[in-house]
Amino acid sequence: MASKPLPPKSYGVLLFPGFQSLDVFGPLDALNILSGQTPLSLSILARTLDPVSTAHIYQVNFSQSIVPTHTFSNPPTDLEVLLIPGGFGTRDEKETEPVVEFIKSVYPRLRYVLTVCTGSAILARTGVLDGRRATSNKKAFSWAKSQGPNVNWVAKARWVVDGNIWTSSGITAGMDLIYAFIGEMYGEKVAEEIANGSEYERHTDPDEDPFAELFGAVDQMLRVIYREERE
């Protein structure tokens, strides 16, 4: 009987201007706590070493910034897990093109890729998701699907696992994903202890996103508005 692979130790977060803060800090907080029990390393990756802001066109006067530790041209050689957040910045094709190219270059040597919200739309642009099952933010589901027409998008899922790729729905779904990931890699008891210590009430069914029906109607309305504007 083959032994289970050792859990990953080296994590990286990929940043771009206009990333969604909780997409990053939700999963990282759980990993911060986990790192007190098992040795982990964290890299913050971006195009340059300049601070990367959450600011976007709808939110310019209230934002936060993170200082990267590595650039796309000089990533850590031992990177095992890459977390890709979403946010309004994912809509900027010019700004995220270096992100797409970096993922293409680094994916073959990664053990796992985790996406939150419309981070899956960026991943879809790389072609890595072609033929795989994935999900995304239900409020922006049509747009996410347009970024990867060859992806098997799952409309109702809270998160989806296909091989070594884990994709999740909108924003807080990233926290459910990371707890599920911790449970799979380090043991469900560990995940439950961290969630309870954080006073976080988990969604534990990956196939049931409570916001899918609500935002499905919103998504349909936005598609109609967008079509009318174009006409």
Q: Tell me the three-class secondary structure of 10-41, residue by residue.
A: EEEEECCCCCCHHHHHHHHHHHHHHCCCCCCE
Residue type (1 letter), 94: K
* Alpha carbons 180 and 195: distance in angstroms, whole number: 10
Catalytic residues, by residue number, are: 117
* Alpha carbons 135 and 119: distance in angstroms, whole number: 10
Other CB atoms within 10 Å distance of the CB of residue 41: 15
Helix axes 21-34, 188-197, angle to 10 degrees: 110
